[in-house]
Structure 1
């Protein structure tokens, strides 16, 4: 191709691109309405959406009266019924911008064949200037993409796009907001799950400041069901939270029930409370099952009874406290420990951490803490000592203790701290051949394998020699 031809072609392409850019910039925004082409059609109703002050739908023996208030639309005079904004806008659209696909018959003698002798629905809109428009909705056409429709005081039978027919024959449920309060589980501050014949799980954000939180340790505390407060395994708890669904209404059962007992909500089978740090809150009460996999439920602060799929709540039925609790028998930062006394059947061990403050020699620099480690008065190097300490606080529990035992320890570990509480005692009481019952401050809730403790005692003896 010659150079001159190439330049001309490039110039034309540039003009085309500029033209396209101008068009995309200047063209009017696309309206959020159903896909319907109105060019060349007959306008049946055209007005500004905001002009409508009342919309009335009569079908199947029921009447829906929408009235525009200061804060939006109210249905049947009941402001407690929350409406789905997009669904009501769709209805506004049908009243304000409706075209006929075609005139089917100018002066019909038989309305019954169109379903208009006894219409499926009568749709009325009243505008703020007092104008009233009434539409009669008949059957769907054989093509199923349009409805037969008549306008009051007009003898013609029209067809209109299916969206209009669907909007005019909709029930109250179709206009109701199905969303429910939800929380941001990434910012959870409180969780409480009460279930019949299962332990209550109560978890709250740990308000105490600690360096461990930066590593995901000790963010939450488990307040129930255990007698003592235990920290939560952050990673595992977060995984379980991800399985909790975003709550939505499946069925609207009864708005103002007189008897909660018939739904099993007088004594709920399950109660869920969740709060987040942005003041989001969920408080749901669950009752009886119905229609196989459905469950009655209600919000604690609203009278209405709803329904949702029970299968979507599986995690709430199967969640076990032991699955999310931290498994450490006792974990504490080494900087908070001054002394550990370990007593066994055969020998006692005294572990000491002696600290000395070395003043900074230069202004602006921090003092240095020098720690020396001793086992039975024998100084131990830092590396092996810290390895031993990691083993001590790394004892993991393996299961819940379901038995009541007398606290007669085979091994006892008493931690003397420089912070509150000043002392914590962890006792290991024989449970069976393989496990110890772990007692902490006189209470045993978990079991730990004997092998873990035996390895620590063996290493302790080696370092003490």
Structure 2
């Protein structure tokens, strides 16, 4: 009798565990619920230029054909890979969090922004203001100049736009190595 009860209890336990695992493995996307669409602070298909503040000066870059040029100085050789990476991160700036009705802008460091990034497209220029870091959320506060919404954006953008002109210029050694590799490939 005790053996039958023990076997019955074990079978019930196995059925309960199996049921739990079956429910847990169900794909929640089959319920018809969709994940909310990502919200973007800025999106553009094509960026023709950008500028940002670094060390008290504004660095301006424009794209001439497929080459990034510093200001009006096309003779200055720039790190194209680095500038293209900066362009890529500006094409889609995703909002990690959106604050529709923010408190005082000073709470987010946006009353006196730490940086101003101007993004130029064929249609218009948009100015992104960068504020304080929020280390707990892994991002920085930002807003588009002229708008009232405050966003939390990934920290990759402020990091990429904290470089100096010297960081973005190719050194003579890099320029020579690039010229040598181009000559060898011809």
Q: TM-score range by the shorter chain?
A: 0.5 to 0.7
Higher-helix-fraction structure: 2
The residue aligned with 1:21 is none
The residue aligned with 1:85 is 80
CA displacement at 1:115 relative to structure 2? 1.6
Residue 41 of structure 1 contacts residue 102 of structure 1 at CA under 8 Å; is this kept in 2?
A: no
The residue aligned with 1:153 is 146
Note closer, same or farther for the CA distance 1:114–1:71 as it changes in structure 2 (3 Å cut). Answer: same
The residue aligned with 2:41 is 44
Could you give the per-residue CA deviations for residues 303-340 of structure 1, whole angstroms, max 9, x where no partner exists? xxxxxxxxxxxxxxxxxxxxxxxxxxxxxxxxxxxxxx
CA distance in 2, matches of 1:102, 1:56: 25
The residue aligned with 2:118 is 124
Residue 141 of structure 1 contacts residue 148 of structure 1 at CA under 8 Å; is this kept in 2?
A: yes
CA displacement at 1:109 relative to structure 2? 3.4
Could you give the per-residue CA deviations for residues 335-389 of structure 1, whole angstroms, max 9, x where no partner exists? xxxxxxxxxxxxxxxxxxxxxxxxxxxxxxxxxxxxxxxxxxxxxxxxxxxxxxx
* Structure 2 segments unaligned to the other structure (5+ residues): 1-35
Q: Does 1:99 align with 2:99?
A: no
CA displacement at 1:41 relative to structure 2? 2.5
SS at match of 1:92: helix
CA displacement at 1:40 relative to structure 2? 3.6
* Aligned residue pair count: 144
Residue 86 of structure 2 contacts residue 160 of structure 2 at CA under 8 Å; is this kept in 1?
A: yes
1:194-343 alignment to 2 at 5 Å?
none
CA distance in 1, matches of 2:77, 2:168: 9
Q: Does 1:110 align with 2:104?
A: yes
Structure with max Cα Rg: 1
Q: Does 1:70 align with 2:65?
A: yes
Q: TM-score, normalized by length of structure 2? A: 0.67
CA distance in 2, matches of 1:111, 1:175: 32
Note closer, same or farther for the CA distance 1:159–1:71 as it changes in structure 2 (3 Å cut). Answer: closer
Note closer, same or farther for the CA distance 1:110–1:59 as it changes in structure 2 (3 Å cut). Answer: farther
Give the CA RMSD over aligned residues. Answer: 2.5
Could you give the per-residue CA deviations for residues 242-278 of structure 1, whole angstroms, max 9, x where no partner exists? xxxxxxxxxxxxxxxxxxxxxxxxxxxxxxxxx9xx7
Q: Does 1:53 align with 2:48?
A: yes
Note closer, same or farther for the CA distance 1:114–1:174 as it changes in structure 2 (3 Å cut). Answer: farther
The residue aligned with 1:189 is none
CA displacement at 1:59 relative to structure 2? 4.2
Residue 41 of structure 2 contacts residue 151 of structure 2 at CA under 8 Å; is this kept in 1?
A: no
Residue 142 of structure 2 contacts residue 151 of structure 2 at CA under 8 Å; is this kept in 1?
A: yes
RCO comparison, higher one (Cα < 8 Å, 6+): 2
SS at match of 1:52: coil
CA distance in 1, matches of 2:118, 2:134: 22
